[in-house]
């Protein structure tokens, strides 16, 4: 089936998910949508995020006719995934919900760390995701909007020492709280995944949802005798689409080139 898989985030945070899926599924057509016009999602109210995504997805369905939409943003997934599934019942959605359950299963100290946006941290506590059942654990959440901004604006220019010092201050906070498992609860943070693992070892185990999300998309594609799978050698055009009217800056141009994706404005498609 020659319909695309879409990945949506407010910026570049969902790129690791998009890239991982693309490498493992080279026949699939992929569109990555960066909602620059509404970046960042983290400080926004839940109702506002639902409205933003509902309007964006209505437009994307008309323009691109996707077979699967991946909400490649933890904040958007926690806030809006349930509502989007109700509003667009004919579309398959995959959400990047923070990997709290596997972290709870591995936790020995009784306290899980979660690093995320303001909205994600607030909603994790209100939903009490890890607070029920056999493996109930206390959540110690830290909101890090400045880390999202660092990754969005400086990740390509930052040297190894700057990355190390940026990550270390968060690891120090979680170690001081007695956390032994840490969930990276924002997709942006995967750009620093290896640094988090280096800084945390051997005291804290890092959890993310990258592999699980790719496997979930593949599961949906393979259902019903691979009915949604793209055929071999079909013409495809992977593309990054940016919302808003501003031209793409050099950072987005370089990232698209490295990924082998075309780059365009959503309004021009």
| Domain extents in the chain | 5-96+210-268, 100-207
pLDDT of 125: 61
CATH code for the domain defined by 100-207: 3.40.50.1860
Flag whether pLDDT at 109 surpasses 80: yes
Q: List residues with catalytic annotation.
A: 73, 186
Flag whether pLDDT at 164 surpasses 60: yes
Flag whether pLDDT at 132 surpasses 50: no
Are 5-96+210-268 and 100-207 equal in CATH topology? Answer: yes
Contact 4, 67 (CB under 8 A): yes
How far apart are the C-alpha atoms of 147 and 120, rounded to whole Å? 14
Q: How far is CA 204 from CA 101, 113, 210, in A?
A: 16, 9, 18
Cross-strand pairs, 139: 112
Flag whether pLDDT at 28 surpasses 50: yes
Q: Strand order in 181-184's β-sheet?
A: 138-143, 111-116, 181-184, 205-207
More confident residue, 101 or 10: 10
How far apart are the C-alpha atoms of 80 and 78, rounded to whole Å? 6
pTM of the model: 0.92
Flag whether pLDDT at 241 surpasses 90: yes
Alpha-carbon Rg for the chain, nearest whole angstrom, is 18
pLDDT of 133: 44
pLDDT of 114: 94
pLDDT of 236: 83
How far apart are the C-alpha atoms of 110 and 226, rounded to whole Å? 42
Side-chain half-sphere exposure of 187, counting CA atoms within 13 A: 33
Task: Tell me the fold of 5-96+210-268.
Answer: Rossmann fold (3.40.50)
Flag whether pLDDT at 245 surpasses 80: yes
Look-up of token digits 């991982």: 20
183 phi, psi to nearest 5 deg:
-95, 125
Flag whether pLDDT at 21 surpasses 80: yes
* Lowest model confidence (mean pLDDT) among 85-89, 92-96, 115-119, 240-244: 115-119
């Amino acid at each position: 089936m020659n319909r695309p898989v879409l990945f949506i985030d407010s910026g570049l945070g969902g790129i690791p998910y998009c890239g991982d899926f693309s490498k493992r599924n080279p026949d699939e057509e992929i569109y990555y949508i960066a909602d620059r016009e509404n970046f960042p999602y983290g400080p926004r109210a839940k109702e506002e995020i639902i409205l933003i995504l509902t309007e964006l997805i209505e437009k994307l369905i008309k323009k691109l006719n996707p077979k699967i939409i991946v909400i490649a943003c933890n904040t958007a997934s926690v806030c809006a995934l349930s509502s989007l599934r109700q509003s667009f019942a004919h579309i398959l959605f995959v959400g990047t919900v923070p990997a709290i359950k596997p972290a709870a299963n591995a936790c020995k100290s009784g306290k899980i760390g979660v690093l995320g946006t303001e909205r994600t941290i607030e909603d994790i506590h209100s939903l009490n995701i890890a607070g029920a059942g056999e493996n109930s654990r206390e959540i110690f959440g830290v909101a890090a909007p400045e880390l999202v901004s660092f990754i969005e604006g400086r990740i390509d220019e930052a040297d190894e020492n700057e990355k190390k010092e940026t990550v270390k201050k968060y690891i120090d906070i979680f170690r001081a709280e007695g956390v032994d498992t840490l969930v990276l609860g924002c997709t942006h943070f995967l750009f620093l995944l290896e640094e988090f693992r280096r800084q945390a070892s051997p005291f804290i185990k890092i959890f993310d949802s990258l592999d699980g999300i790719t496997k979930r998309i593949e599961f949906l594609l393979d259902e019903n005798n691979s009915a949604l799978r793209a055929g071999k050698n079909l013409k495809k055009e992977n593309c990054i689409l940016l919302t808003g009217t501003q031209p793409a800056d050099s950072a987005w141009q370089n990232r698209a080139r490295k990924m082998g994706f075309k780059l365009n404005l959503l309004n021009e498609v």
